[in-house]
Amino acid sequence: MAEFEVSELTGAPAQEIPPTGLAASTRTVSELLDEAPTSGFHRRAVLISGMGFFTDAYDLFVIGIVGAIVTVQWHLSTTQTSWVTGSAILGAFLGAFVFGRIADVLGRKVIYTAVALIMIVGALGSALAPGFLWLVLARFVLGLGIGGDYPVSAVLMSEYANRADRGRLVGLVFSMQAVGLIVGPLMGLLLLSSGLSQDLTWRVLLGAGALPAAGVIYLRARMPESPRFRARVKGQASQAAHDLHRFTSGAIAAGSVAEAPRHRMSPRQFVTNPRMLLLILGTAGSWFLFDYAYYGNTISLPRILLEVAPHASLVAKLWLTLGVFVVFALPGYLLAVWKIDSIGHRALQVIGFAVMAACFLVLGLVPALTADVVPFIAIFGFSYLFTEFGPNTTTFVLPSEVFPVEMRTTGHGIAAGIGKLGAFVGVFLVPQLQTHVGLRGMLLVAAGAALVGMGVTFVLPEPATRSLEDVSGENHQAGAAPSRAASPAATP
């Protein structure tokens, strides 16, 4: 755990931290981390964690191309094609639940490395698939790793972060998804125009998903365990202090950190606690509704464009998709990272859902807008801007903040898993809706999902600029005063 210096984590050289003052301090590990400035350690943690979300977005896009190719190559039915495109999402549903819970028992660090290994195995197994069943199973394994990466990467970054920049730092991890959304279609365009056989093209596309996970697995193994988890769950405040002593090259004296109250909530207590159930409703419910619309629309985008621009070639549709991502989605991610902590995490989710609903309603109610590619792309793209500058980012950030430390990855895993269940439903249901009620009917259903998601969001507290312990209620359970950082606007 000593490979990364916590002088980097606190952002100050050892000589700038007065050892005598800290030795006399009664601050806990969490309080020290809350007030630490953002540093090079945080930036590296963002990059190392973000590779999982690059993989998620990359696979999200390329499986649409792969599905189109193998459907013809293997003569698949519509249901079989949906299993090809949806099996990784189903795996993510299970992986988020399982690995989220394990990370609260064994610790964040061990799962952090394990899920990267699983992603590598799943991606390579997919590329080598000899037939339909193998491909579905390999994609399911890949999904297990992706799903497990959601709670661990989000919570680890949240627990490393200070209170002022936590939303931005966790959002930066998730914003690596933007790179995957752009690299995916670029890889597809490159391979489709390279002269490679279609069989080799889809295998290369899937196998390339192993590269980002392989590139960071060594670095993940060297990342430190969360000091908050060690101190508050394992009851190892003195060990956490010793680790901080090593990280800061002796600037913080071993034993100078105050003991933090230990938190022990069983899974049964968690799922029967009214407050926890409300938090699950807010985080998991909004994520389910968002992912239904987002994954259903994104994976089905080639099919949607086929209806809007029926004479466009596959390459032309890829260029249109890439344009939507670059012109609309990428700025949305950047705006979210820039403004999330000043606007508020819950507030930004509400705004994003509202704009998404408005865009889908307009497209569904005005027939002319789905008959011409230019206005359709403009409005559909605008919805993508507020998808990223809104619930696609915040549904990832909020569950990493609102649950108590001993159930934080469990809670995030439940939210992410239910979210992926929504994505799985969307992958299967959106094409069926488009067939039976048309593109406009499908968009009206998506608008309804966004409106309900907006409503569900209001049950959550506003975590921006507040300490994790204050947001989760741990301070109040321990009889401590609320964080002095809490503002009147930052109340549940």
Query: What pLDDT does 7 receive?
Result: 44
- Classify residue 412: in a domain, yes or no: yes
Query: What pLDDT does 311 receive?
Result: 67
Side chain identity at residue 62, one-letter code: V
CA dihedral 3, 96, 391, 137 (to 10 degrees): 110
Residues contacting residue 2 through CB under 8 Å, at least 6 positions apart: 224, 243, 246, 247
**Spatial distance between the Cα atoms of 438 and 442, rounded to a whole number of angstroms:** 6
Query: What pLDDT does 218 receive?
Result: 87
- Classify residue 310: in a domain, yes or no: yes
| Cβ 34 vs Cβ 485: under 8 Å | yes
Longest dimension (CA), the chain: 73
Query: What pLDDT does 254 receive?
Result: 53
Nearest to 428 by CA among 153, 79, 191: 79
3-class DSSP state of 247: helix
| Cβ 61 vs Cβ 187: under 8 Å | no
- Classify residue 387: in a domain, yes or no: yes
Give the residue carrying structure tokens 């799962």. 111
Radius of gyration, CA atoms only, the chain: 23
- CA of residue 427 relative to chain centroid, distance: 18
**Spatial distance between the Cα atoms of 103 and 341, rounded to a whole number of angstroms:** 27
- Classify residue 234: in a domain, yes or no: no
| Cβ 286 vs Cβ 349: under 8 Å | yes
**Spatial distance between the Cα atoms of 443 and 292, rounded to a whole number of angstroms:** 12
Question: Between the CA of residue 358 and those of 147, 204, 294, 387, 454, what are the distances in Å?
Answer: 30, 39, 15, 12, 12
Count of Cβ atoms closer than 10 Å to residue 131 Cβ: 9
Residues contacting residue 63 through CB under 8 Å, at least 6 positions apart: 84, 85, 88, 139, 206, 299
pLDDT along the chain (492 residues), means of 10: 44 38 58 81 88 82 85 90 89 95 94 94 96 96 95 94 94 90 85 88 94 88 86 77 55 56 79 94 96 70 63 71 84 94 97 95 89 85 92 96 96 96 82 76 89 96 94 67 38 42
For 244, the token pair is: 């901080």
For 259, the token pair is: 């003991």
| Cβ 55 vs Cβ 92: under 8 Å | no
311 lies in which domain range?
A: 38-225+263-477
Count of Cβ atoms closer than 10 Å to residue 362 Cβ: 16
**Spatial distance between the Cα atoms of 20 and 32, rounded to a whole number of angstroms:** 15
H/E run at residue 393: helix 391-397
- Which pTM does this prediction carry? 0.86
What is the domain count for the chain?
1
Query: What pLDDT does 252 receive?
Result: 46
- Classify residue 422: in a domain, yes or no: yes
**Spatial distance between the Cα atoms of 185 and 195, rounded to a whole number of angstroms:** 17
- Classify residue 438: in a domain, yes or no: yes
Query: What pLDDT does 329 receive?
Result: 87
Query: What pLDDT does 246 receive?
Result: 55
- Classify residue 484: in a domain, yes or no: no
Supply the CATH number for residue 297's domain: 1.20.1250.20
- Classify residue 233: in a domain, yes or no: no
